[in-house]
Structure 1
Amino acid sequence: MRLLTSLATAAFALLVAQAASAQTVALGTTKGGSTGQVGTAIANIATTAGEIRVIPQETANTAQYIPMVDQGRIEFGIANYPQTAFAITGTGLSEGKPSEHLQIVATLMDFKSGMLVLKASGIESTADLAGHKVPRFPDNSLGDFVIRAVLATADLTYDDVEEVPMANFPSMFQGLKDGTLDTSIATIGSAAVMDIAAAAGEVKFLSFDEADDAEQLDSVLPGTLVYDVTGSEQPGVEGETKIFGYPYLLFANDETPAEVVTAMIKALYEGKDALLATSPMWDTFYPDTMARATGLPYHPAAAAFYEEKGLLPEG
């Protein structure tokens, strides 16, 4: 009995020592919304793995923490493929302001989003948004690019709708709840969709045309695809439903230590089940496709990990 007690005490002491010695790093994410959910899940899974301690660094939007990662003030950040590509290349949202110190760590999941409306509104298509209250984000913000891309699929512009100024995504979600807006960008399976439905009544996603709309969306937001989510049994999906989306990426400052990046990747690579348990948004996260983002620079430690696993795309 004394031996068992001694062994248990020693094991506990080892766990405490490991936790105390784990390096603390920060992960840029948003306060609330889908990105906030993803950031919290990553931080929890990576911290639980024990090699690093990850603290979410919450800001109002991704545009606020991307420069913080680029400047080395925090180690990691998450964003969709279009915004990350714009930041690295200094185009689009980041025109003339390249973030030269960002490097890719992993592709996470496909962020499947769309335009959410209340069923009672009678809005059945993007063309029906004409004359309705639509969020108007600051020029050249991510929300601005998304809304302009969506309207363009129906040959609409801001001139064809009633613009309602919005500061960020949480205020947009609230706008659909309280009637300030008639539509909102939303991610399938996210808490925001469920919250809106609980507060304002039944919701539905407007459907896009895979053949006609995908090219238009991609021309404004590089990397954007149209996904068929018909039959997914998620709130807001009724009948044939096709929504837009893009891969979500984890990136790091290029001087983030190799051992920290490797610890982060390893925790995610081995944590599929734990991540999926946090939200159905993770159902398109596949460890063997964590290196599928192409055309962007990878952190050397990430490249080494994926090369060892045989996951780096050829070329």
Structure 2
Amino acid sequence: MKFCVLFSIAMAVGLLSQAGGVAAQQPIAIATPPSGSIYNSSAAAIGKVLADKAGLRMTLQAMGGSSQYLPIVNAGEVPLGIANVYETSLAVKGEDYFKGRPNKDLRVVAILYPLRNTIFVKKDSDIKKLADLKGKRGPTGFTSQRILTSVTNAALAPGGITLDDVKGVNVANIISNVNAFKEGRTDFFVFALGGAPIREADAAVGGVRALTAENTPAVVAAVKKQVPVAYLRLEKPSPANTGLLEQGYLVSYGVNLLASTKTPDDVVYKVVKAMHDNAADLGKVFPPLRMLDTKAMAQAVDGAEYHPGAAKYYKEVGQWPPKQM
């Protein structure tokens, strides 16, 4: 389902049916990767529910990827954005591909859900485990979404390999990584469980299969070498988990909603309160948001501070200070 279409319809209905203060309110923009990405679908769901339930007008600003838009959110040019917690830490502290460019004005708004990242191959492929990907064709580069190099290496780590062990095919971001697979240019792709592009790839190639990990101390250590905040999470097959044919462990880590010091306190407060109060509706619109834990929306993110508007609400509901992840 195209959540951006649903989002656009909801915005149009909201504008036509509501008057006064809501109609006059400037839309709150959320920066995301391209349409179809799990962050884009999450933002669309948040926008729809917050418009329906709280009268907040929101709009999506889809860009090439998070490594492009985090500095834009930091500068206050877009008030909100979505990223994983590891990239948030890198951005705030000015590490890795943000070296020399710390984004010190980024502020955490809320932890949304665990991103369950894994590798997908064709269902009838002779690739049965992650180690079998050595020497195969895989996505590399990720020029617009550079965090994907680390998270893909984390997904490959349980197999004892990295992207250095595959035949690289340059892609720009998470969506072009799926497209390369559908076009037959790669033998696997990386994506978070529950994303619509997995269903599209499944239909395009006659079925896909997720490669899972063994949960051992050595595997956990290998994963954390790539993404220090990652852990292994047990997942089971379900209609929402396309490609997961049997239960197994997937590399996981948190996703957060972000703002900047320039995003008004009252805007952030209203967004957090509306998400907290309408969490069940968020999950109905986009299944991964069913994992939003309203009792743990405030969790510590290494190097990052919480936005004052968010902190105000978390103090009111007894979620302050943030829990250690």
Offset of residue 40 of structure 1: 1.1
Which residue of the other structure, out of 199, 209, 222, is the alignment partner of 1:216? 222
Is the 8 Å Cα contact of residues 18 and 51 (structure 1) preserved in structure 2?
A: no
Offset of residue 208 of structure 1: 1.1
Matches within 5 A, 1:110-189: 110-138=114-142, 141-189=146-194
**Which deviates the most, 122-131 or 15-24?**
15-24
Are 1:251 and 2:254 counterparts? no
Offset of residue 300 of structure 1: 1.1
Calculate the aligned-residue CA RMSD, in Å: 2.1
What is the count of residue pairs matched by the alignment?
Answer: 303
Which residue of the other structure, out of 313, 316, 321, is the alignment partner of 1:308? 316
Q: Which residue of 1 aligns with 2:56?
A: 52
- Normalising by structure 1, we get a TM-score of 0.90
Q: Which residue of 2 aligns with 1:3?
A: none
* Distance of 2:38 and 2:18 partners within structure 1: 32
1:173-217 per-residue CA deviation (whole Å, 9 max, x = no partner) reads 111112111111111111011100011111111111222322222
* Distance of 1:20 and 1:124 partners within structure 2: 54
After superposition, the Cα gap between the structure-2 partners of 1:53 and 1:109, relative to the gap in structure 1 and judged at 3 Å, is: same
1:50-107 per-residue CA deviation (whole Å, 9 max, x = no partner) reads 4532111110111111111111111111001111111111113422321000010000
Matches within 5 A, 1:68-147: 68-138=72-142, 141-147=146-152
Is the 8 Å Cα contact of residues 107 and 293 (structure 1) preserved in structure 2?
A: no
* Structure with bigger gyration radius: 1
* Distance of 2:99 and 2:222 partners within structure 1: 20
Q: Which residue of 1 aligns with 2:5?
A: none
Structure 2: runs of 5+ lacking an equivalent: 1-15
Offset of residue 232 of structure 1: 4.0
Q: Which residue of 2 aligns with 1:24?
A: 27
Is the 8 Å Cα contact of residues 19 and 50 (structure 1) preserved in structure 2?
A: no
* One-letter identity of the residue aligned with 1:221: V
Offset of residue 231 of structure 1: 4.1
Matches within 5 A, 1:35-50: 35-50=39-54
* Distance of 2:306 and 2:72 partners within structure 1: 18
**Which deviates the most, 247-256 or 19-28?**
19-28
Are 1:204 and 2:209 counterparts? yes
Is the 8 Å Cα contact of residues 52 and 260 (structure 1) preserved in structure 2?
A: no
* Distance of 2:45 and 2:323 partners within structure 1: 30
Q: Which residue of 2 aligns with 1:7?
A: none
Q: Percent identity?
A: 27
SS in 2 for 1:23: coil
SS in 2 for 1:219: helix
* Distance of 2:98 and 2:215 partners within structure 1: 28
* One-letter identity of the residue aligned with 2:311: A
* Distance of 1:14 and 1:190 partners within structure 2: 31
- Normalising by structure 2, we get a TM-score of 0.87
Is the 8 Å Cα contact of residues 231 and 253 (structure 2) preserved in structure 1?
A: yes
